[in-house]
Amino acid sequence: MTRTFSNTRYPRQRPIATPNLANGVYIRLDPEYEHILEKIEQWFADREEVVLVDHGTSDKTGEDGFILIEWNEFEVDPVFLGILDNDDQVIDYTMYSRELEEV
């Protein structure tokens, strides 16, 4: 069983810019996901471009947890995607991009 969310430090990489785009990841997890959420918040606390959009449980069945996280004007960190690929606690994930609204 691989548990990469147990790492205390996150290896920081230089992000690739994607002007005017938010690139996000919807992560599907076990409903007991709070420790993963805490780790993500810790890892990205000093990263202004990374935004925790939402988290909770699925509306239909309530059997899965989810975390929605975005990188504003940068690509999703490939190290983070590797963690998602290799951690047994992650049921599934999907990536998306959307245009940022002008303020």
pLDDT digit string (tens) for the chain, length 103 residues? 555 665 556 666 778 999 999 999 999 999 899 999 999 999 999 999 999 999 999 999 889 999 999 999 999 999 999 999 999 999 999 999 999 987 6
Q: CA–CA distance from 25 to each of 22, 76, 103 (Å)?
A: 10, 8, 23
- Single out the residue of 91, 97, 94, 95 nearest to residue 65, CA to CA: 91
Q: Is residue 14 part of a domain?
A: no
Which CATH number characterizes residue 68's domain?
Answer: 3.30.70.60
Q: Which domain holds residue 54?
A: 22-99
Q: Residue 3's pLDDT is what?
A: 55
Q: Residue 98's pLDDT is what?
A: 96
Q: Is residue 47 part of a domain?
A: yes
Q: Is residue 83 part of a domain?
A: yes
Q: Residue 84's pLDDT is what?
A: 95
Q: Is residue 11 part of a domain?
A: no
Query: What single-letter DSSP state applies at residue 59?
Result: S
Beta-carbon count within 10 A of 72 CB: 15
Q: Is residue 4 part of a domain?
A: no
Q: Is residue 65 part of a domain?
A: yes
Q: Is residue 49 part of a domain?
A: yes
- Single out the residue of 37, 34, 30 nearest to residue 92, CA to CA: 30
Strand partners, 50: 71
Q: Residue 48's pLDDT is what?
A: 93
16: tokens are 């690739």
The tally of domains found in the chain comes to 1
Q: Is residue 51 part of a domain?
A: yes
